[in-house]
Chain A
Amino acid sequence: MGVEMGVGLWTFQSTVTRPHQLPRLYRDFPAVARKVEQLGYAHLWLAEHRLWYDAFCPAPLLPVAAAAAATTTLRLGTAMVLLPQHDPERLRSLAAAVDDAARGRLELGVGLGHRDAEFDALGLPRTGRGRRMDEGLRVLDREPRDRRSDAMWGGGMARAALERIGRHGMSALLPQTLDTEGIRRAVATITGAARDAGREPGRIGMIKDTWVDVDGEAARSWFLPRLRRHYTEEAGAWWVLDGGHGFTSPGRLQGQVDRTATSAVVGSPDEVTARFGEIADAGVDTIVARVNFDFVSGRELGEQLELLAGTVLKAVAA
């Protein structure tokens, strides 16, 4: 298959579903990153949100720097830093410092962000996020570049977002709800925009909520209800549906949760490998298996990382 495979997402949350000791999550993270490296994964990814009860990490580049000192080959990525919420010059400087600490192993993913409260705390209008994204990318993409263009990642599935990725020669982390036909269309849009801008297109990646068990049915019965509960809370409290947060539109919220659960890759090693193969055939060269959620314990995460590495990782990397 020849696909690069990494794991995500580290968010350092302590939720109602499963309260975690935050100091332990942070303290153990460099050792977890080292284990991920030893298991053979190509990269590990962290996410960013701010000002929420569960303490979602607002500064993922700092755990990246801490993990950099504990690893030697593992690439460390953000999926995503919410670029429109940042001062781009400051972010450029911080990312360069973290990349130095990681000896060039930082994969800097940038996304839009969507919560009004996050923008408002920083005195920034959410409505200007697309323009701020473009301005921020011009700063990050400015010569002399601190890193390879394809070590910059962008997300989204709107045409404007895909064309932006292509124009800057960035790599793409496509949303998991895209089907194989959607992936092919996205790849074509990105590639076309890159060529129009005289840039080489970057890599095509996709984050997939993933759970594997030697018994595929056991994987589905354990993981999917928990995943649905996870997205019910996240989308209910955060996502904007019909002009309000998700809980104010129960029907649409249910639809969103259904879509995310349906697009998760869950099953036996053979089933998961086959699904990843279909994604690769559609043009994806980098898969981030999201196995770390707020509802997963440290022990469950460790076991999942080992099983995934011993089965699916070997197959997709071959």
Chain B
Amino acid sequence: MRIGVTLDLATVSLVEVPALAAAVEEAALDLVWLDAPAGRPEVALAAAVTCAEPTRTLLIGAATAVAGHHPLYLAEERHVADQLLGGRLALGLRGDDEAGLTEWTDVLLAAAGTTPFAHRGPRHTIPAGLPQHTVNPETRVRVTPAPYALEPTLWLLGQAAPAVASAYALSPVSEADGTAVWQRLERSLGPACRRLRRPAVRTWDPGAEDAAALAHRLLAERDGWGLDTTLVRLTPEPGTAAWHAALADLAVVVRPRLQQERLPSGLEELWDTERTHQHTAAEREVMT
């Protein structure tokens, strides 16, 4: 299972993002997931690209949303961001209205190809074919640059995500129990479901729940509906000692317990014994 950490851009300044992302990479976790503030979906990709140089291998997730403007802006920015990040971008697109999320998904997928396309949707026609445009008018357009990745990651969020995910064989990001959603996807997609990651956002308060208990909570979801990518929303404030300690616990306590079908008897006990010789997260916070 991959483990990532979310950052809420409503509370984290963009100038802080590169160092926080570097810390997530340094902790040997897999992904940082940047949530755009409400009403400002365009901020997510701007934050994502600030990680381009400070990180080298970390996957960078950017959660944006369907909005009232034209979807080509997002398609273009997604491709430029993926180029800057060397193919490490995972885009999350949130939508509660099925028609809107469908149209934006359709445009993003068409734009990510490398051939010219046209789109006729309920809100947007691309290209518009306005009569006053007479100098080299085009009936299909190609969005450039292409994304770096051959099949750039697009995950869906929001109330319309399950229906649109089913239509386009994309992954919905579970923000609650994923059982029903993934049962429906398995029925509708059949073996194509194998291609899909099964991500979820889960909150963890290290002060209220031991890291090993979190691991067992995620194990139950992994073995239940197939959770394979957890985006952990940490309750400690990003950048604090408690937050850094939580990253370490995710890396050395949680993730190892999620990789095998089961662990040989005695191994968890060994790890727990070693932990007692290491400083706990709370102790490290006090020391800091």
A245: chain B residues within 8 A (beta carbon): 135-136
Interface membership of A97, Cβ < 8 A: yes
A26: chain B residues within 8 A (beta carbon): 52, 80, 83-84
Other-chain contact of A117, B47, B137, B143 (Cβ < 8 Å): B137
Asked, given contacts A23-B83, A51-B141, A122-B70, whether A117 binds B42 with beta carbons under 8 Å apart, the answer is no
CB under 8 Å from chain A, chain B span 94-133: 124-130, 132-133
CA distance A305 to B10 in the complex (A): 39
Interface membership of A147, Cβ < 8 A: no
**Majority SS at the chain B contact face:** loop
Interface membership of B145, Cβ < 8 A: yes
CA distance A67 to B86 in the complex (A): 15
Please tell me the number of chain A residues within 8 Å of chain B, measured between CB atoms: 53
Contact at B137–A120, with CB atoms within 8 Å?
yes
A214: chain B residues within 8 A (beta carbon): none
Interface membership of B173, Cβ < 8 A: no
Contact at B145–A244, with CB atoms within 8 Å?
no
CA distance A86 to B43 in the complex (A): 16
Contact at B50–A86, with CB atoms within 8 Å?
no
Contact at A57–B14, with CB atoms within 8 Å?
no
B136: chain A residues within 8 A (beta carbon): 116-117, 245
Contact at A69–B124, with CB atoms within 8 Å?
no
Interface string of A3-39 (1 = CB under 8 A from B): 0000000001000000000110011011100000000
A315 to chain B, nearest CB (A): 32
In chain A, what residue has the closest Cβ to B78?
A59
Interface string of A136-149 (1 = CB under 8 A from B): 00000000000000
CA distance A69 to B54 in the complex (A): 8
Contact at A127–B132, with CB atoms within 8 Å?
yes
Interface membership of A218, Cβ < 8 A: no
Other-chain contact of A62, B46, B67, B128, B137 (Cβ < 8 Å): B46
CA distance A123 to B73 in the complex (A): 12
Asked, given contacts A86-B73, A90-B67, whether A125 binds B133 with beta carbons under 8 Å apart, the answer is yes
- Residue of B13, B51, B72, B137 with most chain A CB atoms under a 10 A cut-off: B72
Please tell me the number of chain B residues within 8 Å of chain A, measured between CB atoms: 52
Asked, given contacts A22-B145, A94-B46, whether A121 binds B128 with beta carbons under 8 Å apart, the answer is yes
B86: chain A residues within 8 A (beta carbon): 23, 27
Other-chain contact of A59, B14, B50, B54, B80 (Cβ < 8 Å): B80
Interface membership of A317, Cβ < 8 A: no
Interface string of A100-132 (1 = CB under 8 A from B): 110100000000000111011111111100000
Contact at B145–A57, with CB atoms within 8 Å?
yes
CA distance A117 to B143 in the complex (A): 12
Interface membership of B225, Cβ < 8 A: no
Asked, given contacts A90-B69, A97-B42, A116-B136, whether A68 binds B50 with beta carbons under 8 Å apart, the answer is yes
CA distance A98 to B44 in the complex (A): 11
CA distance A312 to B164 in the complex (A): 57
Contact at B144–A93, with CB atoms within 8 Å?
no
Contact at B138–A62, with CB atoms within 8 Å?
no
Other-chain contact of A65, B46, B83, B130, B134 (Cβ < 8 Å): B46
- Residue of B15, B42, B87, B146 with most chain A CB atoms under a 10 A cut-off: B42
Interface membership of B77, Cβ < 8 A: yes
Q: List 17 A-B contacts (CB under 8 A).
A: A12-B145, A23-B86, A23-B148, A59-B76, A62-B46, A63-B49, A69-B54, A89-B69, A97-B40, A98-B46, A116-B133, A116-B136, A120-B128, A120-B137, A122-B70, A124-B128, A240-B135
Contact at B133–A120, with CB atoms within 8 Å?
yes
Interface membership of A70, Cβ < 8 A: yes
A65: chain B residues within 8 A (beta carbon): 14, 46-47, 49-50
In chain B, what residue has the closest Cβ to A103?
B15
B141: chain A residues within 8 A (beta carbon): 51, 117, 121
Interface membership of B216, Cβ < 8 A: no
B76: chain A residues within 8 A (beta carbon): 50, 58-59
CB under 8 Å from chain A, chain B span 37-78: 40, 42-43, 45-47, 49-54, 67-70, 72-73, 76-77
Interface membership of A258, Cβ < 8 A: no
CB under 8 Å from chain A, chain B span 1-57: 13-15, 17-18, 40, 42-43, 45-47, 49-54
Q: Can you add 12 more A-B contacts, CB < 8 Å, to A65-B46, A87-B73?
A: A26-B52, A27-B83, A50-B144, A51-B143, A61-B46, A62-B46, A101-B17, A101-B47, A117-B127, A117-B141, A122-B72, A125-B130
Contact at B125–A123, with CB atoms within 8 Å?
yes
Interface membership of A222, Cβ < 8 A: no
